[in-house]
């Protein structure tokens, strides 16, 4: 059974009588991974892991980068504006290093929301710190929700990894973000754009076995097949590597 490493978030959390910051992975991601036929393990932001990402990647068949707080502009060499919200520099470094190492090893990667942005920055791209300031539409119409209030249309290129997630042509997805892709990372191709403002909503790296980032949230949508292609790809033998 494929093992998917899911990068955890650092967030305030409550359970039992505890109320403190914790490394967490929402159950929506875990459920979709299980439905697709894999098992998930959490990858916790850690300085040692950031310095030696291969020690973690040796233990997984695929890497998932999930949603969360803003990516710090320092990660792509720009000053922080007053529009940037909460950031987690250790999480940024940890995930950027994992993404770069995974691409070098051709380990399948799926990025969701913030995860797409991490993949773009990891390959040399940049972000808009606030889409409204850049002349784009509001992509966070209902903070804290991913239901119908956040639905909008995207135009998805047929025959792509993104199309396998949600379908080709004009599709309805859910999104919740105020940062967005600006300069594309090296090797990245836009395979879905928001309508009508044309913000990149999906990026792929065709030279990789599987490297897809989507700005929407397939883990929160009613799509039982949302992660099937990703998990299936992790079960394939990589060039020069035996199956675990």
**Domains parsed from the chain with CATH numbers:** 3-234 (3.40.50.880)
pLDDT by residue, tens only, the chain of 244 residues: 999 999 999 888 888 998 998 889 999 899 999 999 999 999 999 999 999 999 999 999 999 999 999 999 999 999 998 988 889 999 999 999 999 999 999 999 999 999 999 999 999 999 999 998 989 887 766 666 566 667 889 999 999 999 988 899 999 888 888 999 999 999 999 999 999 999 999 999 999 999 999 999 888 766 556 788 999 998 874 444 443 4
Tally of CB atoms within 10 A around 21: 9
For residue 242, give both structure tokens.
């035996």
**For 26, which DSSP code?**
-
Query: Which residues belong to the active site?
Result: 113, 217, 219
In this structure, the number of other CB atoms found within 10 A of the CB of residue 89 comes to: 12
pLDDT at res. 142: 61
Q: Which of 21, 25, 20 lies closest to 7 in space, CA to CA?
A: 25
- Confirm if 193 and 137 have CB atoms less than 8 A apart: no
Alpha-carbon span 153 to 171, nearest angstrom: 5
Per-residue DSSP letter, 240: T
pLDDT at 223: 56
Which residue from 210, 203, 135, 202 is spatially nearest to 175, judged by alpha carbons? 202
Contact between residue 65 and residue 25 where contact means Cβ atoms under 8 Å apart: no
């Amino acid at each position: 059974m494929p093992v998917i490493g899911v990068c955890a978030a650092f967030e305030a959390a409550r359970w039992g009588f505890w109320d403190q910051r914790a490394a967490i992975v929402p159950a929506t991601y875990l459920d979709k991974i299980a439905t697709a036929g894999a098992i998930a393990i959490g990858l916790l932001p850690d300085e040692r892991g950031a310095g030696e990402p291969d020690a973690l990647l040796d233990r997984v068949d695929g890497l998932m980068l999930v949603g969360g707080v803003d990516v710090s502009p320092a990660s792509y060499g720009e000053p922080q504006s007053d529009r940037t919200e909460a950031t987690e520099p250790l999480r940024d470094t940890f995930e950027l290093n994992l993404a770069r190492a995974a691409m070098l090893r051709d380990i399948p990667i799926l990025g969701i929301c913030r995860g797409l942005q991490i993949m773009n920055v990891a390959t040399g791209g940049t972000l808009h710190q606030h889409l409204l300031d850049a002349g784009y539409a509001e992509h966070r119409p209902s903070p804290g929700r991913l239901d119908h209030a956040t639905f909008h249309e995207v135009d998805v290129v047929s025959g792509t990894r993104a199309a396998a997630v949600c379908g080709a042509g004009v599709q309805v997805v859910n999104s919740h973000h105020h940062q967005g892709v600006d300069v594309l990372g090296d090797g990245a191709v836009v395979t879905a754009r928001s309508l009508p403002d044309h913000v990149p909503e999906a990026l792929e790296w065709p030279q990789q076995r599987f490297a897809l980032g989507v700005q929407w949230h397939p883990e929160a949508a009613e799509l039982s097949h949302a992660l099937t292609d990703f998990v299936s790809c992790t079960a394939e033998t990589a060039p020069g590597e035996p199956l675990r």
